[in-house]
Every structure is written in structure tokens, then in C-alpha cells.
Amino acid sequence: MRDLVKYFLDTEFNGFGGDLISLALAPEEGEPIYLCLTQAELGDKKITPWVSQYVLPVLATPGAAPERLARKDWSRRLASYFKNATRIEFVADWPDDIRYLMQAITVKPGEVIPLPDFSMSCVHVPSWPNQIKGAVRHNALWDARALREAIMHPPEQQRRSA
């Protein structure tokens, strides 16, 4: 196994600064993780109109069905997901994605899940439109995959300008 693994991150949240709804990490290789609030937790929230129109309808799509867990269980699930990791780089295209991930790995004040050394980067790359068959925008897993594709296999035009 390689020492450093990049995990491409996307989240969906209830409007600017709102509650986290879903979180996805698509690694360079291997299985992704895609977490979403339970229906009960979603039903307890006053959802913004934009999120109701563009995010909620695509939370579960072909090829990107989330694990629906209570928010209090996300840190435990993420700890399990990363139990064999050696070094991690989280890559996002929006600063709030990093903020929400840091909240998700926090168990309680002063305690985070067991993680190896990790770094974070925020990059500005166009990931939509893309050539990924079946991709659905505003689904956190598809967006994380789109970011991975844009970074790992940039379009020819983007490569020339770099």
C-alpha cells in the first residue's frame, strides 16, 4: 500500500453555514465513503429552498447511494473507514468542505477520531462538466469523484494552461 493516499472531498449542507447533510470521500484508489443524515434528521430541519430543489432530490442516485446514519455516528464510521490508513491528504475545492470534515471527525471537545498524519489542500479546478458516465451534480459522492477526475485526469486544455 502506498504511504500517502489522497481523498477527494465534497459535502452538501443546508445553505451557507448551515448544517451538514452529506459528506463523501473518493480516494485515489479503492472504495469511497458517502454518509448522509437519516430521513428523520433531515425531516427535523428547515431546509433552504435551493437545497430542497437541487440537493435533496439527488442524495441517492444510481452509483451513489449514501449510508444513512445519525450524525452522532459519523465519527465512529469515519474512524472505521480510516483504520488502516497511513498518511492522508484531503483535497477539496471549497473551504467549507474542509470545515465540515473537521467537524465530522471531532468526537467531542478536544477529541478527534484516530487518524494518521494528514494534510489538507483546497484547489480551484473546474470539475463540471465532466465525462463521468452517470455523474449527478450536487450529490456529494459524484462531486467528490468529479473533483478526483479533474485533478488526476485534467482535460487537455487545463493541462496546457498549467
What values do phi and psi take at 106, rounded to 5?
Answer: -85, 120
What values do phi and psi take at 150, rounded to 5?
Answer: -65, -35
* Residue 45: CATH number of its domain: 3.30.420.10
Range of the domain at 109: 4-161
**pLDDT of 161 over the 70 cut:** no
What's the pLDDT band for 2 if we cut at 50, 70, 90?
low
**pLDDT of 105 over the 90 cut:** yes
pTM score: 0.91
- pLDDT in the model for residue 61: 94
Instruction: Considering only residues 51 and 126, tell me which one the structure prediction assigns the higher pLDDT.
Output: 51
What is the number of domains present in the chain?
1
What's the pLDDT band for 157 if we cut at 50, 70, 90?
low
The H or E element that residue 100 is part of is helix 95-105
Cα(71)–Cα(93) distance, integer angstroms:
23
Question: How many angstroms separate the first and last alpha carbons of the chain?
Answer: 30
